[in-house]
Amino acid sequence: MDYLKIVGGVKLQGAINISGAKNAALPLMASTLLSKNTTTIKNLPNVVDIKTFLNLLEMLGSDVNFNNNTAIINTNNLKNTKATYDIVRKMRASILVLGPLLARFKQCEVSLPGGCAIGARPVDLHIKALEKMGANIKVENGYIVAEAKQGLKGAIINFDKITVTGSENIIMAASLAHGKSKILNVAKEPEVVQLCEVLQQAGVDIKGIGSDELEIYGTSGEGLEFKEISVIPDRIEAGTYLCAAGVTNSQITLHNIDSTHLGAVISKLEEIGFKLTYNQDSITIYPAKELNAFEISTAEYPGFPTDMQAQFMALATQCNGVSIIEERLFENRFMHVSELQRMGANIILKNNTATINGKNELFGAPVMATDLRASSALILAALIANKESTIHRIYHLDRGYENLEEKFLKLGANIIREKE
């Protein structure tokens, strides 16, 4: 297994390009199951989760070609509608094939994804919504066994909780259903919006895109014709690098971003004391005279993103005063806290709230990654810790950050990937 060796105390500088968004790419790849033509998806990040999802589509019988961040996918010769445990357990976003497979092929079996480091991550809301659309769903031997012999029918779906992949699954299912669906309390993340826009351009009549209420007129099982797709920039990758500049109090520039997706992150960084200048597709962050403590409560978009919570906790160790971070979406998304404490961070955890008493001097240490975003927080801490840190189990990072050490090297960090 690989690990990262980082020597802290180095200022960052220069500019990097941000990759396409993993969390936009996954539902877009799933949506090709609704397509009757070959679909080209560009600006895919070359990360493990993308390759895992493409393997899943191939396992189902799709023709897939992937190189240079572009995938060409044809799902017309699909032979199999069973997404097996061995692939779903690697990536719970595989659940995104449930809606499209059921809508297009009228039956499918998808392994229950199971929990992960950050929480139980149930999919009850996905299942409940599909049942409202006429699906007959059983859960047996760890699999969701679903069928809709007459196809899915449009329904009024009111999500009890806002769920990103739940919304995406139902939006895709409703696109091929018979009649109109109305989806209330739907997620508004930019990744959900791009999925809606792509389906609309493929011929689906969708109203209310970007709002929390969608009206979708299904094609009654008629396959869609997709235009070429280019994945939106990764707002979480961009936010992670902005926090890297923040913890080292450096000036860097990010290209290929969409600043309209970064509102909550930008305003929080400005509140801490950083100056940022940006246009539609690039952003520069400048050093702060001093870093002020802050408060965060994670929320669904456009609120503060839970996927940026760990990175801001690393930043909070460098802020003067008491910062408070409340995690409202997941029940166990503080796995990075104990590792940050081992590096000298003064953090007190009580239920779903962390109190960070900054400013802390951090010391290099061997630490272990536990989940994708927690791992990135450990890198940020290592960038300002005294001496050397080693970050182990970085396969978590490779799931969602493209060319991570190359990008940090380009910014001047002292970082190297080694073999255990």
What residue ranges bind ligand EPZ (CB under 6 A)?
23, 26, 93, 119, 121-126, 161, 163-166, 306-307, 329-330, 372-373, 400
56 phi/psi in degrees, rounded to 5? -65, -45
Instruction: Please answer whether residues 107 and 81 qualify as being in contact, where contact means their C-beta atoms are separated by less than 8 angstroms.
Output: yes
Closest distance of CB 262 from ligand EPZ, Å: 15
Could you give the CA distance from residue 231 to residue 351 in angstroms, rounded to a whole number?
37
Q: Identify which of residues 122 and 273 has a Cβ nearer to ligand EPZ in the complex.
A: 122
Under 8 Å CB-to-CB from 9, ≥6 apart: which residues?
Answer: 384, 385, 386
Closest distance of CB 44 from ligand EPZ, Å: 14
CA distance to 79, 95, 110, 242, 400, per residue, from 89 (Å): 22, 10, 11, 31, 16
Could you give the CA distance from residue 237 to residue 383 in angstroms, rounded to a whole number?
17
- Burial pattern 388-405, b for ≥16 Cβ within 10 A else e, equals ebbbbbbebbbbbbbebb
Q: Identify which of residues 301 and 408 has a Cβ nearer to ligand EPZ in the complex.
A: 301
Closest distance of CB 251 from ligand EPZ, Å: 27
Is 65 assigned a ligand-binding role in the annotation?
A: no
Q: Which amino acid is located at 407 in the chain?
A: K
Is 63 assigned a ligand-binding role in the annotation?
A: no
Please compute, for residue 405, the number of CA atoms within 13 A of its CA located in the half-sphere on the CB side: 15
Is 124 assigned a ligand-binding role in the annotation?
A: yes
Q: Identify which of residues 330 and 334 has a Cβ nearer to ligand EPZ in the complex.
A: 330
Beta strands in 12-97 (DSSP E): 15-17, 39-42, 63-67, 70-74, 82-83
Closest distance of CB 141 from ligand EPZ, Å: 20
Could you give the CA distance from residue 28 to residue 73 in angstroms, rounded to a whole number?
11
Is 92 assigned a ligand-binding role in the annotation?
A: yes
Could you give the CA distance from residue 10 to residue 219 in angstroms, rounded to a whole number?
56
Q: Identify which of residues 181 and 298 has a Cβ nearer to ligand EPZ in the complex.
A: 298
Q: Which residue has the tokens 């508004």?
A: 188
| Residue 116 is a catalytic residue | yes
Is 86 assigned a ligand-binding role in the annotation?
A: no
Instruction: Please answer whether residues 71 and 52 qualify as being in contact, where contact means their C-beta atoms are separated by less than 8 angstroms.
Output: no
Q: Identify which of residues 257 and 319 has a Cβ nearer to ligand EPZ in the complex.
A: 257
Could you give the CA distance from residue 216 to residue 183 in angstroms, rounded to a whole number?
8
Is 125 assigned a ligand-binding role in the annotation?
A: yes
Beta bridge partners of 389: 6
Is 198 assigned a ligand-binding role in the annotation?
A: no
Closest distance of CB 249 from ligand EPZ, Å: 26
Q: Identify which of residues 337 and 372 has a Cβ nearer to ligand EPZ in the complex.
A: 372
Sheet with 82-83, strands from edge to edge, namely: 82-83, 107-111, 143-147, 136-140
Could you give the CA distance from residue 26 to residue 225 in angstroms, rounded to a whole number?
18
Is 302 assigned a ligand-binding role in the annotation?
A: no
Look at residue 69 and give its three-state secondary structure. Answer: coil
Q: Identify which of residues 111 and 165 has a Cβ nearer to ligand EPZ in the complex.
A: 165
Beta strands in 161-202 (DSSP E): 180-184
Could you give the CA distance from residue 283 to residue 259 in angstroms, rounded to a whole number?
7
Q: Which residue ranges are tagged as binding site?
A: 22-23, 92, 121-125, 307, 329
Annotated active-site positions, please? 116
Q: Which residue ranges are tagged as binding site for phosphoenolpyruvate?
A: 22-23
Q: Which residue ranges are tagged as binding site for UDP-N-acetyl-alpha-D-glucosamine?
A: 92, 121-125, 307, 329
